[in-house]
Amino acid sequence: MDISTVITYLKELMATVMVLVTMIMPGGTKASEDTYEALRPDELVASFVVLSDIHVETNQPESYGYLSDVLKGVKAGKDIDAVIYTGDNVMNGQALENALFYSAVRTMKPSENNFVLTGNHDLGNSDGDYEKLLGDFILNNKLYLGEDVGEGYYYRVVNGCYIICLLSEAPTTWALDMSDEQFTWLEGVLQEANEADAPIFVFNHFPVNYTGNASARLTALLNEYDADLYVHGHYHDHPIYAGNFYNRNGVDSVNMTRPTEMTLFEPGEGIVIEVYEDEFVVRVRNFITGEWKEDLVRVYEF
């Protein structure tokens, strides 16, 4: 075993110990004490939790503490088939930050299926080695979660639902950039989903209309193949309110907030997507307090 591998495992071990310590500390999330379930559990086809912009930062241990509490709250769900993290999982793309994030996800295991995306902070925030950090992202998913994320964009089918994870392929904070190769791949996946008459959920860190060379092309493709929902982060709009649900150029979208916000509002918010035979429902939950925002339930027909 070479020295780099040894260092990787030592970092992983240290992060795992920190996760275990956090798990047994008194206090923490009220939500983890009570099991929650879908609106219509007997009719449920699939259920997904979405979190975004966690921003684990080594010099702000509170961010890691809130992540721990949020994951405990997510794990309290009875029928959570997957958890999707839509990027900016860490603040600076540092190895230790990634070790903390991935070890938390692996050790707490809020779901059997984990979909991790990149955001601009994971990839250097316009001020880092993009190719190296992207390689680290691909490796971390294999090392910690046993997941193959391809070139950084990938999809899986969970309970008949297509979960598609996109990648911005430039080291920028201000634009969505997708290669011809990714677009060709995406169109193939969307065609496959249409042929299967399957629900299509698309996730990206950036909104579909973000300034950049990909926005118009991506919007057109999602409309052509009738993608059911596009979920993104990046803006940190908080707390989640009615304006976080919107339709832009025909694409139904949800703008996620930051569940580990430490100063401006109560942390813990994410969404639950509940899929039924003829519709899906999006609900807003605070995974730390265990509270639902009943006035923000959104129902979408297939």
CB 163 within 8 A of CB 156: yes
What is the average pLDDT across 80-102? Answer: 93
User: For residue 13, is pLDDT > 70?
Assistant: no
Residue 190: how many CA atoms within 13 Å on its side-chain side?
22
For residue 28, the model assigns a pLDDT of: 60
- 189-202 pLDDT, tens digit per residue, is 999 999 999 999 99
Give the CATH number of the domain where residue 126 resides.
Answer: 3.60.21.10
292 found inside a domain: yes
Q: Give φ, ψ of 168 to 5 degrees.
A: -85, 120
Is the whole model's pTM more than 0.75, yes or no?
Answer: yes
User: Between residues 1 and 66, which one has the greater pLDDT?
Assistant: 66
For residue 31, the model assigns a pLDDT of: 73
35 found inside a domain: no
- Domains identified in the chain, total number: 1
User: Between residues 148 and 23, which one has the greater pLDDT?
Assistant: 148
Residue 219: how many CA atoms within 13 Å on its side-chain side?
18
Task: Go through 177-197 and write b for each residue having 16 or more CB atoms within 10 A of its CB, e for each that does not.
Answer: bbeeebeebbeebbeebeeee
Tokens at residue 38, please? 């879908």
Separation between Cα atoms, residue 66 and residue 51, nearest integer Å? 12
User: Between residues 22 and 85, which one has the greater pLDDT?
Assistant: 85
Separation between Cα atoms, residue 106 and residue 12, nearest integer Å? 11
For residue 26, the model assigns a pLDDT of: 45
Strand positions, DSSP E, 125-233: 154-158, 161-165, 200-203, 229-232
37 found inside a domain: no
- 223-271 pLDDT, tens digit per residue, is 999 999 999 999 887 789 999 999 999 999 999 999 988 777 889 999 9
38 found inside a domain: no
244 found inside a domain: yes
189 found inside a domain: yes
Q: What is the mean pLDDT of the chain?
A: 89
What is the average pLDDT across 8-37? Answer: 64
Q: How confident is the model at residue 127 (pLDDT cuts 50, 70, 90)?
A: confident
Separation between Cα atoms, residue 39 and residue 43, nearest integer Å? 9
12 found inside a domain: yes
User: How many angstroms from the chain centroid is the CA of residue 180?
Assistant: 24
For residue 258, the model assigns a pLDDT of: 93
Q: How confident is the model at residue 63 (pLDDT cuts 50, 70, 90)?
A: confident
34 found inside a domain: no
For residue 92, the model assigns a pLDDT of: 87
* Domain range enclosing 241: 3-29+45-301
User: For residue 32, is pLDDT > 90?
Assistant: no
- 165-187 pLDDT, tens digit per residue, is 999 888 777 778 899 999 999 99
